[in-house]
Amino acid sequence: MAPMGIRLSPLGMAVFCLLGLGVLYHLYSGFLAGRFAFFMLSEPAAGGPETPHGSAPGGAVDLRELLAVSVLAAVRGGEEVKRVREGNVLNAKAKGKTREGAEEQLTTGDLLSNRRMFYLLKGAFPSVQINSEERVDTADQETVSWDRSIPEDIKQKIQPKEVPAESVTVWIDPLDATQEYTEDLRQYVTTMVCVAVNGKPVIGVIHKPFSSYTAWAMVDGGSNVKARSSYNEKTPRIIVSRSHAGKVEQVARQTFGNKTVIIPAGGAGYKVLALLDVPEKNQEEADVYIHVTYIKKWDICAGNAVLRALGGHMTTLSGEEISYTGSDGNEGGLIASINMNHKALIEKLPDLEKTSHK
């Protein structure tokens, strides 16, 4: 009941209610619109945009897709490497020294290949950690798209397999064998991509830009490359870095005999391919690959994955598995083989492990 002496006008009550509704509208319209927009973005309509390329519900990635874009990245990076070398616009400069005191070279080929490979992989798999030999300059960002197509040979051999995105680390080497690249020793040059899951290398891609040959493999999946059918375990042919040939030769011949062949070569990717059945006229063949000093993980991860997929081994000189998480360097040197008694090889070369820390 209204207070005595005051009569409420129906028209006044209606105006009052309308004013109240107007106030409530202004107070809550922004909030409701925001909630509506959130709902629409969270639940896309049928036929609308799906999860980002390379991603799956729950923060997972498909390793088959990651293999496909890794092959494409290695090829695209190789195109830059080849174009710079053939145009003779290397602009080579020293970027520092190795632990052994040798000058490390940096060229335009390294930088352009790195940019192309990094942004292609990052655009396809934005939630995956990518480690590269060269620094990525955000001011020089490049948009490189992937249409999510998967080559037929990968489709035929590899089944889709999802893993958590946080378990994946991608290692890219945009130009392996830069020193040889500057010397125009083209056969040694490769571009490489490796995918590690929980620190274990599971996908490896090694591409040779100057012959357009690409080797790829996935552990427990398939590959487009095979191991050679015959190896010499008694007097193996040992492939080593050009700068390490003298360190390895004396110990190796004392161990395996004077008939042991030492093959000096450039590039970790090239040395791994030497252990395989590669249809390349400029590719040497070896039975064992040995490196006796510190080496970066982007140099060896792809080769490690390829060997693992084919039943081979790559370990430190003391026989320890190499983890592809944490620091970017491997302190213990390495020995790689396939279709051989890897443990026996390690036991025959005990002195080499000591030189890996010098």
Catalogue the active-site residues: 110, 178
Provide the 3-class DSSP secondary structure of residue 232.
Answer: coil
Cβ count near 152 (within 10 Å) = 8
Q: How many helices (H) and strands (E) does the chain have?
A: 10, 19
What does the alpha-carbon distance between residue 271 and residue 268 come to, in Å, rounded to a whole number?
Answer: 5
Q: Is the dihedral of CA 312, 317, 321, 325 positive or negative?
A: negative
Residue with tokens 């050679």: 228
Residue with tokens 């997929």: 309
Contact 72, 179 (CB under 8 A): no
Closest by CA to 133, choosing from 180, 175, 90, is: 175
Q: What is the Cβ-side half-sphere exposure of residue 88, based on CA atoms within 13 angstroms?
A: 0
Contact 154, 260 (CB under 8 A): no
What does the alpha-carbon distance between residue 255 and residue 345 come to, in Å, rounded to a whole number?
Answer: 10
Q: Determine whether the annotation assigns residue 153 to a binding site.
A: no
Q: Determine whether the annotation assigns residue 173 to a binding site.
A: yes
Token duo for residue 182: 């500057």
What does the alpha-carbon distance between residue 338 and residue 340 come to, in Å, rounded to a whole number?
Answer: 5
Give one DSSP letter per residue of 60-127, joined into a string: EEEHHHHHHHHHHHHHHHHHHHHHHHHTT----EEEEE-TTSPEEEE-HHHHHHHHHHHHHHHHH-TT
Q: Determine whether the annotation assigns residue 299 to a binding site.
A: yes
Q: Which parts are annotated binding residues for Mg(2+)?
A: 133, 173, 175-176, 299
**Annotated binding site: which residue ranges?**
133, 173, 175-176, 299
